[in-house]
């Protein structure tokens, strides 16, 4: 690692820390504003306890709203401050100029796959806040249509695609837990939920293996 690249990685690490500190600070400010508005909106006839409860609801609502809004705003900053080496995010070799339209299409498809995997890993911080597993771009398989999948276990995957929010403009990120048991993907919002889904799947897989062994022995 050269001195220049080391300096850049340090600068990006500092930028990432400052970005997260800024988000946390603004979220707390949002919670304070929501609590103040909630307490003030309570009728004067209400007891202090009920006013405090309404303030708490307002604080929670504003904090969640601020965090969701900031997530969309700072997503480019998070990608810019990504300290992982470029090679780990884009594993393909530099492409040479296409000689034919078909070769150009193939290169674009490969680029789309790499783009989908990179976006999935970058957006996975919404689910994996610790950024220790799902943000590993090398574990994501991208596809030309912009979707990507993360192999969790045999027959179990985390799927990713980008969708539009209610305004039809702002891109939204969707993660779903998918298994080979049935075509019924489950939306995933955090690692704890994914852990529970995997635990249930592991139990079902174990029971299925036990039933198979029993049937083979009986035969």
Mean pLDDT, residues 151-156: 94
Tell me what pLDDT residue 190 has. 94
Task: For residues 151 and 180, give the distance between their C-alpha atoms in angstroms, rounded to a whole number.
Answer: 12
Would the pTM count as exceeding 0.85? no
Q: Which residues, including other chains, have CB under 8 Å from residue 79's CB and lie 6 or more apart?
A: 122
CA–CA distances in Å: residue 137 to residues 10, 86, 95, 114, 141: 21, 11, 20, 9, 8
Tell me what pLDDT residue 85 has. 47
Mean pLDDT, residues 57-62: 78
> By percentage, how much of the chain surpasses pLDDT 70?
65
- Radius of gyration, alpha carbons of the chain: 23
At 3, list the tokens. 């001195």
Task: For residues 142 and 113, give the distance between their C-alpha atoms in angstroms, rounded to a whole number.
Answer: 4
Tell me what pLDDT residue 41 has. 81
> Does 164 score more than 80 pLDDT?
no
Cβ-contact 152, 183 below 8 angstroms: no
Mean pLDDT, residues 31-43: 80
The whole-chain average pLDDT of the chain stands at 78
Hey, which residues does 160 pair with through a beta bridge? 148, 175
Mean pLDDT, residues 153-169: 79
Mean pLDDT, residues 193-213: 83
Among 83, 79, 76, 66, which Cα is nearest to 23's? 66
> Does 192 score more than 90 pLDDT?
yes
pLDDT tens digits for 94-143? 668 888 999 999 999 999 999 999 999 999 999 999 888 999 999 999 99
> Does 38 score more than 50 pLDDT?
yes
Tell me what pLDDT residue 152 has. 95
SS3 state at 19: helix
Mean pLDDT, residues 79-96: 53
């Amino acid at each position: 690692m050269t001195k220049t690249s080391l300096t850049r990685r340090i600068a990006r690490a500092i930028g990432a820390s400052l970005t997260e500190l800024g988000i946390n600070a603004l979220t707390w400010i949002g919670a304070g504003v929501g609590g103040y508005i909630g307490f003030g909106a309570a009728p004067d006839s209400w007891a202090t306890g009920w006013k405090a409860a309404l303030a708490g609801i307002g604080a929670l609502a504003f904090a969640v709203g601020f965090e969701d809004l900031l997530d969309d705003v700072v997503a480019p900053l998070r990608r810019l401050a990504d300290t992982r080496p470029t090679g780990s995010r884009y594993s393909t070799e530099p492409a040479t100029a296409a000689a034919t339209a078909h070769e150009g299409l193939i290169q674009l498809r490969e680029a789309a796959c790499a783009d989908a995997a990179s976006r999935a890993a970058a957006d996975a911080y919404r689910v994996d806040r610790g950024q220790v597993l799902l943000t590993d771009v090398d574990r994501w398989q991208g596809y030309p249509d912009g979707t990507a999948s993360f192999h969790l276990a045999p027959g179990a995957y985390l799927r990713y695609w980008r969708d539009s929010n209610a305004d039809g403009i702002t891109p939204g990120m969707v993660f779903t837990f998918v298994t080979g048991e049935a075509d019924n993907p489950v939306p995933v919002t955090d690692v704890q939920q994914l852990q529970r889904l995997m635990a249930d799947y592991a139990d079902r897989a174990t029971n299925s293996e036990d039933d198979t062994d029993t049937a083979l022995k009986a035969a």
